[in-house]
Amino acid sequence: MADDVKKMKPIWFFVGLVLTFMGGVILISGIYDLLARVEYKTVLARLHPAIWWGGLMVAAGLIFVLANRNATVD
Amino acid sequence: MQAIGLHFVDWFIILFYFAFILGMGFYLKRYTKNEEDFFLAGRRNSAWVAGIAFLSANLGALELLGMTGNTYKYGMYVAHFYWIGAIPAMLFLGIFMMPFYYSSRIKSVPGYLKLRFDEKTRVLNGISFAVMTLLVSGINLYAMALVLHTFVGWNWDISIWASAITVAAYVTLSGLMSAIFTEIIQFFLIWFGLFLVSVLGIVEIGSVGEIMRRVPEAFSKLWSTSADPTANGMMITWGGIVLGLGFVLSFGYWTTDFLVVQRAFSAKNLRSARMTPIIASFFKMAVPFIVIIAGLIALVLAKDSNSGFALMSDGGKLNYDSALPMLIARYFPRGLVGLGITALLAGFMAGQAGNISAFNTVWTYDIYQSVINKKASPKHLLRMGRAATIVGIVLSVATAYWAKSMPTIMDYMQAIFSWVNAPLFATMLLGMFVKWITPNGAFWGLIAGMGSSFTMYLAVKFEWIQAGILTLSGKMGASDMAANFWRAWWAWLICFGVTVAVSLFTKKKPEAELVGLVKGLTPETVGAHVPWFKQPAFVAALALIVLVLLNVYFW
């Protein structure tokens, strides 16, 4: 039981996983829409928010994952 | 007519979230070995984990939608809920009250009442708190189903049951640890999912300054219109804001509501427990940059006939809660829509999980163990906690369907806090800082406080008296919000007065039984090995400075 407790990953690692995955899906969706010239009816669509916001999420997520990849909680 | 359509990519993100949090429940189960793991997450969380969970337990999607809509309706005054209506209380909890809570190793707020006063006071508070959490959990479920049905077109029953079953699964598996993990993920999803609305709105309109220039002047003021209730949309004076919201309701909630305080109990040591609400206070002060900015953006766009933006309306009546969903529909392409909906879902479900984890703890220790089965073993209590989770969820679903049948259930949620939390704060304040307050004084004071609050509520609702009498505004009348604030103040005052009066004539507990529970009988703790800039008092002072600067800037 003591070994199990030491091996628990910190919450920040899982935060990183969620941000990386969701950000990646949004980023890929945004790039696809740009290349396929999908027309959006949303305001400010020309700024392609899915690309830069998805990219920001992936970057933040990777920071959390990499910073905690070897971390465990006692 | 639904505001937001969902694409396959959006569904993929939403379903990923459900799968992820269920997976977290299974992952954390292997670390949930005993009742302290289940009810208090093993008391091993850092101040940052406990602090963000502390804030997120309070930061529900209902609040985000409601406060954005309220900003559209009332303007900057809504910021009072996040600034004076939260920060002083959070700092007070960390600096002055946490030593008593944490050092006594209690498992719940009613547990403190048992040690400081007696069993009957504990059970009274335990029962009222348990009923409150079930009602609030059900109202959260109802509100979630309403939002998803209105804005996304989801079926009522599927929304309620899918959410309830998911929350039941992960809280039953891993208790408070699951609830805390999902609250922290919710925190990041809310910022990443909803802050973008404010960013894009600022880009479209031009700047924050331009937004403030285009809203009515009274909407951009925080205090300067509070001398006269007719000068502001909330119809409230600064007295009601400071006494009712800033003091009684705020302190009553943040210092005694076990839903948030439980997160601080999960901290690994006293210093981390004290830092929990202090760290949370900085993030709390930042929430208006999602809610207030978004609400003002919605107002500016709605007033511009060229923008094409409008709130949803129902039979000619504006639906203010639609402000945030309509902005999501305006700015977010597919993928980001899924993220925005997931952020709202995460907020609703984390709120439900928080209420249920608080309920199962209070039921297990303050009602079941203290009244029904005093000799229950730790293993038995763990099983009871899991069973209480399932039963609590089922009762929440029942409450959600009951709420669906009532037209004004949202008013009840605010009223519930004034019935329970406001008088309890008087009891806790006196209990922690005045040695001679007696068990009978506390018990009868709490009865008087809760009873008077409920009576005042009924008196205004059934027009036995005018609301203006409670709010001291006479024939000018008062808004429901002003009546809530003032009722909380009077209930607090009545509880305080009765507690002191009864204590003067009833038997005190011996001082030896109060060590560690009352100021003056508790050894002062000093963080000897912590540098001055990491001391709770210093960080709290920084938070106070930021609070003052914000209030002065938006005066």
| Interchain contact, A14 vs B332, CB within 8 Å | no
B26 touches chain A (CB under 8 A): no
Q: Which two tokens stand for residue B192?
A: 């990443």
Place of tokens 């933040």: A60
Name the closest residue on chain A to residue B326, using Cα atoms.
A42
pLDDT, one tens digit per residue, over B389-402 is 999 999 999 988 87
Q: Which residues contact B293 (CB under 8 A, 6 or more apart)?
A: B198, B201, B202, B208, B211
Domain range annotation of chain B = 8-407
Q: What percent of chain B has pLDDT over 90?
A: 30
**CA atoms lying within 13 Å on the CB side of residue B412:** 17
Among candidate residues B174, B149, B107, the one with its CA nearest the CA of residue B370: B107
User: Which one of B9, B31, B203 has the shortest CB-CB distance to A8?
Assistant: B31
Predicted confidence (pLDDT) at residue A56 exceeds the cutoff of 90: yes
Tell me the average pLDDT of chain B.
85
Contact B462, B471 (CB under 8 A): no
Contact B502, B441 (CB under 8 A): yes
Q: What is the pLDDT of residues B311-335, one digit of tens each?
A: 888 777 888 888 888 999 999 999 9
Neighbour tally for B505: CB within 10 Å? 9
Is the Cβ pair B336, A47 closer than 8 Å? no
Of A44, A57, A60, the CB nearest to B204: A44
Please state, in angstroms and rounded to a whole number, the distance separating the CA atoms of residues B186 and B167.
13
Q: Residue A44: count other Cβ atoms within 10 Å of its Cβ.
A: 16
DSSP assignment string, B440-466: HHHHHHHHHHHHHHHHHHHHHHTTSS-
The span from the CA of B361 to the CA of B35, in Å, is 10
Is A66 near chain B, with CB under 8 Å?
Answer: no
- Please name the residue that has the structure tokens 């003021």: B221
**Alpha carbons B548 and B555: distance in angstroms, whole number:** 10
Q: Is the pLDDT of residue B235 over 70?
A: no
Q: Above pLDDT 70, what percent of chain B?
A: 93
Is some CB atom of chain B closer than 8 A to the CB atom of A52?
no
Backbone angles phi and psi of B468, in degrees to 5: -60, -20
Q: Which ipTM did the prediction report? A: 0.92
Instruction: For residue B322, give Cα distances in angstroms to B11, B152, B182, B187.
Output: 21, 11, 25, 21
Nearest CA-CA partner of B443 in B117, B116, B127, B130: B117
More confident residue, B136 or B467: B136
List, for residues B84-134, the tens digit of each pLDDT value. Answer: 889 999 999 999 888 888 877 787 888 889 999 999 999 999 999 888 888
Task: Place B152 in a pLDDT band, splitting at 50, 70 and 90.
Answer: confident
Output B357 or B227, whichever has higher pLDDT: B357
Cβ B351 vs Cβ B30: under 8 Å: no
Q: Out of B9, B196, B338, whose CB is closest to A53?
A: B196
Query: Which residues are registered as beta bridge partners of B351?
Result: none
> Tokens 């906690």 sit at which residue?
B385
- The DSSP 8-state label assigned to residue B441 in this structure reads H
Q: Are the Cβ atoms of A42 and B189 closer than 8 angstroms?
A: no
pLDDT at B554: 82
Query: What is the rounded distance in angstroms from the CA atom of residue B479 to the CA atom of residue B292?
Result: 20
- Is A4's Cβ below 8 Å from some Cβ in B? yes
Residue of B nearest to A74 (CA): B44
CB atoms under 10 Å from CB of A69, counted, come to 10
Q: What is the pLDDT of residue B408?
A: 58
Q: What is the pTM of this model?
A: 0.85
- For chain A, first and last CA: distance in Å? 11
Q: Do B31 and A54 touch (CB under 8 A)?
A: no
* Contact B196/A at CB under 8 A: yes
Residue B42, both tokens: 């093993």
CB contact burial B330-346 (16+ within 10 A = b; e otherwise): bbbbbbbbbbbbbbbbb
Alpha helices per DSSP H over B206-287: 208-214, 238-239, 250-256, 258-265, 270-286
Given the structure tokens 């006293």, which residue do they identify?
B270
- Identify the residue with better confidence: B33 or B378: B378
Q: For A59-69, how does the pLDDT look when each residue is reduced to its tens digit (9 = 90+)?
A: 999 999 999 99
Answer whether B200 sits within 8 Å of A43, measured CB to CB: yes
pLDDT of residue A1: 43
Give the span between the Cα atoms of B41 and B106, in whole angstroms. Answer: 14
Q: Distance, in angstroms, between B196 CA and closest chain A CA? A: 8
CB pairs under 8 A between A and B: 90
Q: How many CB atoms lie within 10 A of CB B192?
A: 25
What are the DSSP calls for B109-163, one per residue? Answer: HHHHHHHHT-HHHHHHHHHHHHHHHHHHHHHHHHHHHHHHHHHH---HHHHHHHH
What's the farthest any 2 CA atoms get from each other in chain A?
A: 56
Secondary-structure class of domain B8-407 per CATH: mainly alpha
CA–CA distance, B553 with B3 (Å, rounded to integer): 36
pLDDT score of B479: 65
Are B13 and A25 a contacting pair at CB < 8 A?
yes
Q: Which B positions 42-81 lie with beta carbon below 8 A of chain A?
A: 42, 44, 49
Asked if B170 reaches chain A (Cβ–Cβ under 8 Å), the answer is no
